[in-house]
Structure 1
Amino acid sequence: MGEFSKTVGEQGENLVSKFLDTIGWVGAQSGESIDCCKSEAHKNPGTNGRKTHGIDFFYSTKSQLQDYTLDNVVMSVKYTDKPYPSNPSTLFKAHLKDLAYTIECYMKSDFRTDNNDEHSMSGIKQANDTGVLFWFTNDKDSDQDVVGKVSTIQLEKSLSFSSIYLVDNSRAAFIYNVIKYVRDNFSEYSFYYHYTFSSANYKGADNERYGIVFPVEYLVSNILPFRLINKDTKKNVFCLASREQFSEESINRLLYLASDISQDFTDEFIFLFPEYDPLHDNKVLMKAKRLVNAKNRAPNIKVLAYNNDFRGLVNE
């Protein structure tokens, strides 16, 4: 049993490693260990006291969504061969507490100090220390939205952390499927993540508007923005992928968002939904296009499904 658990754990870390490569977090450090600064408070039940915390993966990069900010991401991998519990709150709290303890000690560690010092000459003025809990299961039928089930739980007030993001099977599938679909189906374009412009990132002169590194904030977003640049013509296409199903409300929301964000660089839009059926959904899309055109805009709009079967060939 112990050997099987070890194998499951190794497979989980291998899976997350490849997932990180997929989203652009190439070179994430693995297997780091830091000293525990609260041996008694952080100890596991039945033990004499904790000495260290293990960091499964660590990634650090300059934020493109916040000016002069370093994003430090402390990751924990929880992988199982069993389905998610029907009520996942209790186990989730245990996983989150373990990661919160690790972050608390990471904040006081030489590892954090040394990492931040490495970026001290690049204009960084602050660091965001974010935890990411990858809670995956190998069970193929476990596609429930664990995030939604634990979103209202009450946490212990003694826990000390800034933010922790939960990535479950469902959310990882959304991110992976969208990225794979775009890369496989638009090979004539260079692929970039679009970095949303806001009051938080308008001062940095060297901030990019798009790039190859996935912002940590996008791990919990239900909309993923991409910039596709034609390798020959250099023409830009703005692509938005939604986790929501296609509907009149969802397409109008994406059209409004796309028009607001991309008006300075393109009028070519691609919208991706889990499913899109031209036979039933085309009337809704045509209505949305008419509303856009009535505002003196004439964008080129294409809607596609990233979870598809052979019937999706009619969209090609």
Structure 2
Amino acid sequence: MGEKSKKSGEIGEKISSELLRLIGWKNALHNMSITCNSPKHRNESGNQRETHGEDQLFIYHNPFHDDRTEIVHVSVKNSLGAPPGEATLRTKFKSHFKECQEIIECAKHSPEVNSISRAHTTRGKKSHSGLLIWLHNDESDIECDIKPHLASSRLESDAKFPIYLIDNARASFLIKIIDDIKRKSEDKKIEFFYPRIGTSVYVNEARSGSSLPLELIASDVVPFLVKSDDSCEMVIYADQKFSVDAYKKLLSYALQFSSGLVAKIKIGMPDYNPSQDEHEAQLARFHFPDRNEEIIPFSFNRSILSLIPKED
């Protein structure tokens, strides 16, 4: 049982590290030991903890809040089989959530973490958050989405820190869109785009960069900028099935995001079918007659439809 658990943990660490590398989290610190400083934190035997295991730690300046630096505590959980039943899944999630809270609670007072934070030249406010990467290695359902089963979970009312979740479905979405944009953009420069949301007011704050912030990791809409010497276009990926209403909302988001920044916008959805959906996409575009941007819908799931030539 111990050997199986060790193997599962090693697989989870490899997958999560590669996933975080893909979204630009390349300078994360791995496998830190955090001294426990709370008598309330207990191990599996019921004794007071001595240390917490910090799987990864990543620090970045939040592009949506001018004065804030994010300190993200990454916890990796991996199971070799399929997700358990809903009741067990919720119980395990509550346990993982509580563990993340305890790690952050002690890490906030860790001399090592504070030293790393100072070396990073943090901004006025430091915000500690958790990122739970919880994966299940069931080949028959490798893109399983556990979030709907967790939606009604009742978490501790005194939880102090936000915890973000990447499950198989979210990881698969991120992998697909990054693979798609790299394949299509070839030698062009690709950056994640940071829409003007939150409290960011400084005009010189970068609106794009090489890493994906927590807010966009949790979002069903991930925007990119693709730049070359003579052009710049926006590419927006949505983890949503095509419908007129969904596409119309994405058009609205895209035009708000772009703010006249680009002349061409591409919107990717997993099931957009040009042979069936093109007419409805054109009708949705008519709702924005005052905008001149060229908008092109596409599917980021590869199929024979990917062979249909795209108009320049």
Identity of aligned residues (%): 27
Offset of residue 142 of structure 1 = 4.5
Displacement of 1:186 in angstroms is 1.4
Q: How does 1:278-293 map to 2 (within 5 A)?
A: 278-292=274-288
Q: Secondary structure at the match of 2:27?
A: coil
Query: What's the TM-score, normalizing by structure 1?
Result: 0.92
Distance 1:267 1:101, change over 3 A: same
Structure 1 partner of 2:73: 74
What does 1:140-289 align with in structure 2 at a 5 Å threshold? 140=139, 141-158=141-158, 160-198=159-197, 200-203=199-202, 206-230=204-228, 232-233=229-230, 235-289=231-285
Query: Once the 2 structures are TM-superposed, how far is the Cα of residue 48 of structure 1 from its aligned partner?
Result: 2.6
- Residue matched to 1:9: 9
**Deviation at 1:206?**
4.5
**Aligned alpha-carbon RMSD (Å):** 1.6
Superposed CA deviations along residues 60-119 of structure 1, whole A, max 9, x for unmatched, are 011111112111100100001011113021111111111111111112221232123224
Amino acid at match of 1:304: F
Residue 311 (structure 1) aligned to one of 289, 293, 305 = 305
Aligned to 1:53: 52
Shift of 1:7: 1.4
Aligned length: 307
How far did 1:229 drift? 0.9
Superposed structure 1 runs of 4+ greater than 4 Å apart: none
Distance in 2, matches of 1:238 and 1:139, equals: 35
- Structure 1: 5+ residue stretches without partners: none
Partner deviation per Cα, 1:213-236 (whole Å, 9 max, x = no partner): 111211110000111112x31x11
Please give the residue correspondences for 1:79-98 in structure 2 after superposition, counting only pairs within 5 Å. Answer: 79-87=78-86, 88-98=89-99
Distance 2:221 2:272 in 1: 16
Structure 2 SS opposite 1:104:
helix
1:264 shift after superposition: 2.5
The residue number in structure 1 matching 2:127 is 128
* Deviation of 1:155 (Å): 1.3
Q: Which structure 2 residue ranges, 5 or more long, are not aligned?
A: none
Deviation per CA, 1:106-157: give whole Å up to 9, x if none. Answer: 122212321232244x6x1001111010000111215332122212211123
Give the Cα–Cα distance (whole angstroms) in 2 for the partners of residues 156 and 162 of structure 1: 11
